[in-house]
């Protein structure tokens, strides 16, 4: 039983992850336009009508832009929390909505669990998707690290977390103070340091796993290679063993993970 994950895009302009199990295909977030998502799916040899579901972590535009049109056009169910469904409102009109929760839900041949994350949305969640012995955990748009997030993400063989910004670089941007305050708040986004600290906590179990850094800001962060180096240096400083680090690029398909090849190069740090 195999699990394959591909980042289609991850950033403030849109987030979408393609997840393939042995028999089924899902999207986690649909933050591109329906037209873009349809094109991306076909470029990855997926006909949109074959999707088993579209998982939406929360209602913000960069995570849900294309969900309504894509789900209606191809009769694909949408999986989200009750709060997210209410916040999306008419966007989901005529869509088969299935509610995800901490007790889990079956989607095709995969099991999906959600866990709450701190963000300024109605009911935002991180997601754990398990197929056979393999699990992927995705937690984006987290204003700060809450204790329950660590054991949840420790379940995953592939961990996708945001490293949204460098604090000093953010403060130096031309963003209005209200935007800076929102990003820096406990309901905003994780900095590179906070992402590294979250990974430090996750890796305390000593289990090997692969990690993607995602949702990097275009204006408030460094080059992806520098972000990887920062996280690598931090984990070395706290005496943790190396792990495989990649970046999910902001504006194009990039990082790819397959369970059949998982952890074969755990001593490498690279950008896909």
pLDDT attached to residue 261: 85
Helix, strand, coil content of the chain in percent (nearest 5): 30, 25, 40
State the pLDDT confidence band at 264, using cuts at 50, 70 and 90. low
State the pLDDT confidence band at 1, using cuts at 50, 70 and 90. confident
47: domain CATH number? 3.60.15.10
∠ Cα 49 50 51 (to 5°): 95
Name the domain count of the chain. 1
- The residue range of the domain holding 207 is 4-261
Whether residue 269 lies inside any domain: the answer is no
**Model confidence at 272: pLDDT above 70:** no
Whether residue 267 lies inside any domain: the answer is no
Pairing status of strand 4-11 against strand 158-162? unpaired
Whether residue 52 lies inside any domain: the answer is yes
Whether residue 252 lies inside any domain: the answer is yes
Average pLDDT for the chain? 94
C-beta of residue 139 within 8 angstroms of C-beta of residue 160: yes
Whether residue 61 lies inside any domain: the answer is yes
How many residues are recorded in the chain?
272
Mind listing the pLDDT tens digit for each residue in 109-142?
A: 999 999 999 999 999 999 999 999 999 999 999 9
Tell me the CA distances in angstroms from 127 to 1, 22, 42, 181, 231, one per residue in order.
Answer: 20, 19, 25, 26, 23
Whether residue 266 lies inside any domain: the answer is no
Q: Which among 210, 184, 214 has a CA at the least distance from the CA of 118?
A: 184
pLDDT attached to residue 102: 75
241 vs 29, which has greater pLDDT? Answer: 29
Q: Which of 58-62, 71-75, 255-259, 260-264 has the lowest mean pLDDT?
A: 260-264
**Model confidence at 252: pLDDT above 60:** yes
Mind listing the pLDDT tens digit for each residue in 57-103?
A: 999 999 999 999 999 999 999 999 999 999 999 999 999 999 987 78
Mind listing the pLDDT tens digit for each residue in 201-220?
A: 999 999 999 999 999 999 99
pLDDT attached to residue 263: 46
Whole-model pTM: value is 0.95
Mind listing the pLDDT tens digit for each residue in 147-206?
A: 999 999 999 999 999 999 999 999 999 999 999 999 999 999 999 999 999 999 999 999
Class of residue 217 by CB neighbours under 10 A (exposed 0-12, middle 13-18, buried 19+): buried
Whether residue 272 lies inside any domain: the answer is no
**Model confidence at 106: pLDDT above 90:** yes
């Amino acid at each position: 039983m195999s699990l394959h994950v591909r980042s289609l895009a991850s950033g403030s302009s849109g987030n979408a992850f393609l997840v393939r199990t042995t028999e089924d295909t899902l999207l986690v977030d649909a933050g591109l336009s329906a037209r873009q998502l349809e094109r991306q799916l076909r470029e990855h040899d997926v006909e949109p009508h074959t999707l088993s579901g579209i998982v939406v972590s929360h209602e913000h535009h960069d995570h849900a832009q294309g969900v309504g049109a894509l789900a209606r056009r191809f009769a694909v169910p949408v999986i989200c929390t009750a709060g997210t469904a209410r916040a999306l409102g008419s966007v989901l009109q005529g869509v088969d909505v299935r509610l995800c929760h901490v007790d889990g839900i079956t989607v095709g041949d995969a099991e999906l669990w959600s866990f709450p994350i701190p963000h300024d949305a109605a009911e935002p969640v991180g997601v754990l998707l398990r197929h056979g012995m393999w699990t992927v955990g995705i937690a984006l748009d987290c204003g700060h690290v809450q204790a329950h997030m660590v054991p949840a993400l420790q379940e995953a063989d592939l961990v996708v977390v945001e490293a949204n910004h460098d604090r000093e670089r953010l403060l130096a941007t031309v963003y209005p103070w209200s935007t800076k305050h929102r990003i820096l708040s406990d309901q905003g986004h994780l900095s590179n340091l906070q992402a590294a600290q979250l990974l430090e906590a996750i890796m305390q179990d000593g289990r090997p796993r692969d990690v993607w850094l995602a949702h990097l800001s275009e204006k408030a962060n460094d080059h992806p290679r520098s972000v990887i180096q920062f996280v690598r240096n931090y984990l070395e400083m706290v005496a943790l063993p190396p792990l495989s680090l990649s970046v999910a690029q902001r504006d194009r398909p990039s990082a790819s993970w397959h369970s059949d090849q998982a952890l074969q190069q755990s001593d490498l740090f690279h950008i896909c």
